[in-house]
Amino acid sequence: MGNLGEPFRAYHPGELMKEELECRGISQHKFAEGIGLSYTILNEILNGKRPISTDVAMLFEAALGVDAGLLVRMQTSYNLQVARKDKKLLARLDKVRKVAAAL
């Protein structure tokens, strides 16, 4: 059981794909070559340092059968979760809400 006070951690779709490759015993280098993607870009996606684009999600779907729509939705959810923790954005949103309330 987890601690209820523990903050939720955003889950990048690349993490799911990294686990999928590991479970299937497929090396990142071999996979990148097989789908025509540079190893660096693939590695950055798998380590959550680069977003999954629609095109890359479709490459993953073609190669591994993982639904591209799921990956794109996961990326959108991840982006929103990260944005909701961005202090500068939160301050800006607060200002916008105050302005909108005065309209």
pTM: 0.83
CATH of the domain at 72: 1.10.260.40
Note whether residue 34 is domain-resident: yes
Give domain status of residue 6, yes or no: no
Residue environment code for 39-65, b if the CB has 16+ CB neighbours within 10 A, otherwise e? eeebbebbebebbbeeebbebbeeeee
- Cβ–Cβ under 8 Å, residues 45 and 14: yes
Residue 7, domain member (yes or no): no
Q: Which pLDDT tens digit goes with each residue over 28-79? A: 999 999 999 999 999 999 999 999 999 999 999 999 999 999 999 999 999 9
In a domain, 39, yes or no: yes
CA distance linking residue 36 with residue 44, whole number of Å:
15
Quick one: tokens of 36? 């025509």
Tell me the pLDDT tens digit for each residue of 73-100: 999 999 999 999 999 999 999 999 999 9
The residue count for the chain: 103
Number of structural domains in the chain: 1
Q: Which domain holds residue 35?
A: 13-102
87 or 7, greater pLDDT? 87
Q: How far, in Å, CA of 103 to CA of 100, rounded?
A: 5
pLDDT value at residue 4: 54
What does the pLDDT read at residue 1? 44
Q: Is residue 69 part of a domain?
A: yes
